[in-house]
Chains A and B, each alone.
Chain A
Amino acid sequence: MINVTVNNLPVEIEAGSTVLDAIKLAGFNVPTLCHHPKLKPYGSCRLCLVEVEGARTLQPSCVVPAADGMKIHTDTEKTRAARRFVLSMLFSERNHFCMYCQSTDGDCDLQQCAYNEGLNHWPITPAYKPFYVDTSHPDFILDSNRCILCRRCVRTCSELVGNHTLGMEERGSATILIADDNVRLGESSCISCGNCVQICPTGALYDRRSAYQGRDTDLTHTSSVCMDCSVGCYRVVKTRDNRLVRIDGNYDANFVEGMLCEKGRYTPFTNTQERIRQPLIRRNGDLIPVSWGEALSTFSTQLKAHSGEEISAYINGRQPAETLSLFRNFFGNEFEAGQVALVGHDESAAIALELAKEFGAFESKLEVLNDADVAVILGADLVKDHQVAGFMLKRKLSEDLALIQITKEANTLGNNFSRKLIKVGDEYSKLLDLVTGTKPFECQEPEARYCLQALEALAAARQPVIVIGKEFAAKENMDQLRRTIEFARGINAKVVVLKGNTNSFAAAIYGLTLRPELKGSAVAFYALGDGKVCPQALEALKASGYKVVQSSYCNEATALADIVLPCKIWNEEEGHYLTTDGRLELNRVAIVADEQQRSVLEVLNNLSEKSGISLNADWQKELTDKISSIVLA
C-alpha cells in the first residue's frame, strides 16, 4: 500500500494503482474519454490531466502510476484551463455538431464532458474537413467525422475480442479508423460482434437498427442472460413501447468483460419468419383459427385416447429449465410416453455427464480460459459456436498463448497465434498420440516448427486448458475422451466441455435423451418454441398420426400439423438457463407478449390441469444437486 493525497485528502491505495484510481478512491472525479474500466489505460485524449506537485507538467491521471507521497490536485485553475482547451481542440477537429448526430443527450461522453466543464460554445473554429462515412456493414455505421481518436473501439477489438480488425492509419489530424488494411468494414475481417459500437463514446460507430430510436435513457433496460448459445453471456435487452430496440452487453457483469458476439447482439433482429398469432386446428385439410380452450381440449382428448407407448414428445433445447423439467415429468413420468426427447445433434452435454460418472467433477468454469497459457481445443469451432469463449483465447494472443487445435474443418481462430498446432480432421486417436507425446512427432516444414513450439509449450505449461467441443464429445469417441481426461489429470490441465446449444446441459441432467431413433407414433407433440426445425423431428412428425406443434413461427413443422399452438419467444418468457459451466441464470421478460401467445410451460400446465395431474415443481434442486458433481466450483 502507498499513501497519496488527492486535493489534500490523504488516501491509502494499493501499489500499482493509477493516479485516476487514487482520485476515485478519494471520492473525486476527473473527466475521461479514452479511458474505460474494461480496457487497459491508454492516455490518448488528455482530458484527465491533473496537477501532481513537483511534476513539470500536468499528468494524464489514467496512465500515470500513483507513487508514495504523491500530492495530486484535480481542480485547479491550470487543470480547468487544460480541460477546456482539450475539449475545444476535440470539438474543433471534426464534425461534432450535436444537432445532427444521433448520439446526444446522455448517449455521448464528449457532449457530457462539455456540459460538465460548462463549455457552452467552441472557442476554436472547426476544421470542416470531411471524412468518408462507411455504411458497408449490415449492423452498424462508421462515421469518422464523429471520431475523437480515443481508440476505445480498436482496443476493444484487440484487447477484449482479440479480432484485431480495427486499427488506425495516417498521423495527426488525418488519423483515421480503418478495418484491416483499409478496406470497407462490410468487406473486412470484422465478425460483427458490435462490441466496438457499444464502447464508442461518441456517434462515430453507431447501431443501424437503434439509430434515432431514442436515447439510452428513453429505453427500458432488462438484464438477462443470453440464451443464443450455452456460454451464458450477460446482456441488457433494451426496448421502447414494448418493441425491441437494441441488445447490449452488460458491463456490470465481470464475465468476459460484458462482451457479446453477433449471435447474442444482432441475430435476434434478423428474424424475418412469420409469427403464429392464434391456435389453429386442421379441418378438411385447412388450418382454422380456434380458441385456446378448443385447441387444448382437442389435444388433451388425443393424449387420453392413446396409451403412453403411442405418444411421442419432442422438445427444443432453447426452452427454459422449468419447461424442460415439466416436459419430462408430464410426458415421461405421467404419460410414460414412448419417446420423450430433446431434438438436435449435439451430444456433448450427455457425454459430460457420462464422463463425470467415471471421473467425478472433472470440469472447470469457463473463466479458466482467462488464465490459460496453453489451450488444447478438441473438436470445437470457437469461431462459429460459443464465440465469446473464443474471444477469451484470441485476446491472449499478445500474451503468447500457445494453441493446439483439432477440428473437422479449418477455422480462423489460430490465424495469428505464433505457437500453434492446427490439425484438421477427426482422427482423435492419432492426434492424441501426438499431443500426449506417446508417438514420435512427424510433421512437414514449415508447419513443423509451429507444432513443435506448441507441443513444447504444452510440456512446460503452467496452466493448460483442454476444451472439448461437440465434434469430439460424441459416443463413438468415448475411449479417446477417457484418455483425454486422464491425460489432463496427468498434466494438471483444466477441462472445459462446451455443451451444445442453450439449455442442452439442463436437458441432459433431466435425462431428456438426445438423438433417439425418432419414430412415428399415434400422437406426436413437438414443442419447438422459437427454435429451428430439426430435420429428424420433422421426419418423425411426418410418420406420426396426430401431430401437434407449438411454434412461434410458421415453418415446415407447422405446415403439416393437425394442431398449431402459438408460442412466446425468448424475450417474452421468463426462464432459467444452465450455462455450459453450470451457472443457473435467468432470462427475463423484456417484451409483453400478445395475449394469444403462451409459453410451452403454460401449455403443459394447462394440459396437466385438464388431465388432473399435479407436477413436481422442484426443477431447480435437481440441477443444482447435479452440477457440483460435474463442474468444479
Chain B
Amino acid sequence: MAKPKVASDWLAGCAGCHMSFLDMDERIIELTKLVDLRATPITDLKEPDEEGVDVGILEGGITNTYNEEVAIKMRERCKFLVALGDCAVFGGVPAMRNFPGADAALKRAYIETESTDESGKIPNDPELATSVHVRPVSDVVKVDFFLPGCAPSADAIFYVLSELAQGRIPEVNDLTNKWH
C-alpha cells in the first residue's frame, strides 16, 4: 500500500508550529517511513499536489485574502485537514487586531509607532492581499482535526501524524488539547 501523502502550509502564523514539527528530531525519519511528506514551507515543493494529498496541515489564521486562497486550495486538495496551532484553531495572536479593528492596527503599525515619522504610510499596493477580519481556518474551510497549542508540542504533532498515517483519527486528550 502506498504511504499516505501529507502536505502542509502556513498562513498568518509565526512558523513556530513548523519549528515544533521539526522538534520531533530523529522521529522525522520514523515518520517518513509512514508518510510521504510532500509540499511544505520547509521543503522544496511549495504547493500541494494537484492530484491531491491524504492529509493537509495548515498553520496560522486567516488575516487576508491570500490566506483564504491558500486555505481553500489546501482544502480542495486534501482528504483530511488538520488546523495546527492556536492561530489556525482560534485566530491566535494576529486576532488581537480584531479588538481595535484592522484600520486602527495598520495606522498604529505604519504611522503612529515611535519609529515612524510623518512620511509613514499604510502599504496599499494593488498586488498586496487585502486584510480581512482575523478568523480561524475553520471559519473559511471545514477542518477535520484541531490541534491547538502555541505551539503544539512535537510529541503532539508526531502522535497526530502517526495516527493519521495508520488510518486512525487521533484522540482529543491531554496531549492534543493543550492551549497556551
Residues of A within 8 A of B (CB): 95, 97-100, 104-105, 111, 114-115, 118-122, 125-126, 128-130, 145
Within 8 A of A (CB), among B95-139: 95-96, 98-100, 135-136, 138-139
B146 interfacial contact with A, CB 8 Å? yes
Complex CA gap A114/B100 in Å reads 27
Number of residues on chain B facing chain A (CB within 8 A): 28
**Is B86 touching A99 in the complex (CB atoms < 8 A)?**
yes
User: From residue B14, how far is it (CB to closest CB) to chain A in Å?
Assistant: 11
Q: Which residue of A lies closest to B133 (CB)?
A: A128
Do residues A98 and B172 form an inter-chain contact, with CB atoms below 8 A? no
Within 8 A of A (CB), among B68-108: 83, 86, 89-93, 95-96, 98-100
Can you list 22 pairs linking A and B with CB atoms under 8 Å apart?
A: A97-B90, A97-B95, A98-B150, A98-B180, A99-B86, A99-B92, A99-B179, A100-B93, A100-B96, A115-B177, A120-B89, A120-B176, A120-B177, A121-B83, A121-B89, A121-B90, A121-B136, A121-B148, A122-B136, A128-B95, A128-B98, A128-B99
User: In whole angstroms, what is the CA distance A115 to B96 when docked?
Assistant: 23
Does B174 have its Cβ within 8 Å of any Cβ on chain A?
A: yes
A111 touches B90 (CB 8 A): no
| Residues A120 and B90 in contact in the complex (CB < 8 Å), given A100-B96, A111-B179, A128-B98 | no
A118 to B145 alpha-carbon distance, docked (Å) = 12
The one of B91, B95, B148 in contact with A120, judged by C-beta atoms closer than 8 angstroms, is B148
- List of A residues within 8 angstroms of B136 by Cβ: 121-122
Alpha-carbon gap, A105 to B98, bound state (A)? 25
Give A597 Cβ to nearest chain B Cβ, in Å: 39
One digit per residue, 1 when the CB lies within 8 angstroms of any chain A CB and 0 when it does not, for chain B 146-170 equals 1110100000000000000000000
Say whether B172 contacts A118, CB under 8 Å. yes
The chain B residue with its CB closest to the CB of A125 is B139
With A125-B135, A128-B99, A130-B99: A118-B90 Cβ-Cβ less than 8 Å: no
Given contacts A120-B176, A121-B90, A121-B136, contact A97 B146 (CB under 8 A): no
B174→A115 contact, CB < 8 A = yes
Residue in A97, A114, A119 whose CB lies within 8 Å of B96: A97
A145–B176 CA distance with the chains assembled, in angstroms = 27
Report the bound CA distance from A119 to B96 in whole Å.
Answer: 21
Please name all residues of chain B whose beta carbon is closer than 8 Å to the beta carbon of A99 when the two chains form the complex: 86, 92-93, 150, 179-180
Shortest C-beta distance, B156 to chain A (Å), equals 11
Cβ–Cβ < 8 Å partners of B148 in chain A: 120-121
Closest to A91 in B: B90
CA distance A106 to B136 in the complex (A): 25
B178: min CB distance to chain A, Å: 8
Docked CA distance A98–B146 (Å) = 16
What is the CA–CA distance of A98 and B90 in the complex, to the nearest angstrom? 10
Query: Would you call B172 and A120 a contact (CB within 8 A)?
Result: yes
Which chain A residue has the least Cβ–Cβ distance from B137?
A121
What is the distance, in angstroms, from A116's C-beta to the closest C-beta of chain B?
Answer: 10
Q: Are B180 and A104 in contact (CB under 8 A)?
A: yes
In the bound complex, what is the Cα–Cα distance between A115 and B180 (angstroms)? 12
Report the minimal beta-carbon distance from B58 to chain A, rounded to whole angstroms. 13
Q: How far is the CB of A382 from chain B (nearest CB, A)?
A: 43
Residue from A97, A119, A126, A130 whose CB has the most chain B CB atoms within 10 Å? A97
A145–B95 alpha-carbon span in the complex (Å): 14
Q: Which residue of A lies closest to B98 (CB)?
A: A128
**Chain B residues, CB < 8 A from A129:** 99
- Measured between beta carbons, the chain A residues less than 8 angstroms from B91 are 97, 126
Least CB distance, A52 to chain B, in whole angstroms: 29
Nearest CB of chain A from residue B20's CB, rounded to whole Å: 14
Q: Please give, as numbers and ranges, the residues of chain B lying within 8 Å of A118 by CB-CB distance.
A: 172, 177
Q: How far is the CB of B33 from chain A (nearest CB, A)?
A: 28
Q: Are B146 and A120 in contact (CB under 8 A)?
A: yes
Known contacts A120-B146, A120-B176, A121-B89; 18 further A-B pairs (Cβ under 8 A)? A95-B99, A97-B86, A97-B93, A98-B86, A99-B86, A99-B150, A104-B179, A104-B180, A120-B89, A120-B177, A121-B90, A121-B136, A121-B143, A122-B136, A125-B135, A125-B139, A126-B95, A129-B99
Residues of chain B within 8 A (CB-CB) of A119 are: 177
Q: Are B92 and A97 in contact (CB under 8 A)?
A: yes
Contacts of B177 on A, CB cut-off 8 Å? 114-115, 118-120
In the bound assembly, the distance between CA atoms of A125 and B132 in angstroms comes to 15
Separation of A129 and B150 alpha carbons in the complex (Å): 23
B138 close to A121 (CB less than 8 A): yes
Residues of B within 8 A of A128 (CB): 95, 98-99
| A interface footprint on B14-29 (CB within 8 Å = 1, 0 otherwise) | 0000000000000000
Interface centre among B136, B138, B180 (most CB of A within 10 A): B180
- In the assembly, what is the distance between CA of A305 and CA of B139, in Å? 87
Contact residues in A for B98 (Cβ distance below 8 Å):
126, 128
**Candidate in A118, A126, A128 with the most chain B CB atoms within 10 angstroms:** A128
Distance A115 CA – B178 CA, assembled complex (angstroms): 8
CA A95 – CA B90 in complex, angstroms?
11
Nearest residue (CB) in A for B86 is: A99
Residues of B within 8 A of A121 (CB): 83, 89-90, 136, 138, 143, 146, 148
In chain A, what residue has the closest Cβ to B92?
A99
Is the Cβ of B89 less than 8 Å from the Cβ of A130? Answer: no
CB neighbours of B89 from chain A (8 A): 120-121
Chain A proximity of B140: nearest CB distance (Å) = 12
Scoring A99, A105, A114, A125 by chain B CB atoms within 10 A of each residue's CB, the highest score goes to A99
Bound together, the chains give a CA A288 to CA B174 distance in angstroms of 59
Q: Which residues of B contact A115 (CB under 8 A)?
A: 174, 177-178
Instruction: With a 10 A CB-CB cut-off, give which of A118, A119, A120 has the most chain B CB atoms.
Output: A120
Residues of B within 8 A of A100 (CB): 93, 96
Identify which of A111, A121, A122, A126 gathers the most chain B CB atoms within 10 Å of its CB.
A121
Chain B nearest CB, measured from A146 CB (Å):
12
A299 CA to B147 CA in the complex, in Å?
68
Q: Which residues of A contact B180 (CB under 8 A)?
A: 98-99, 104-105
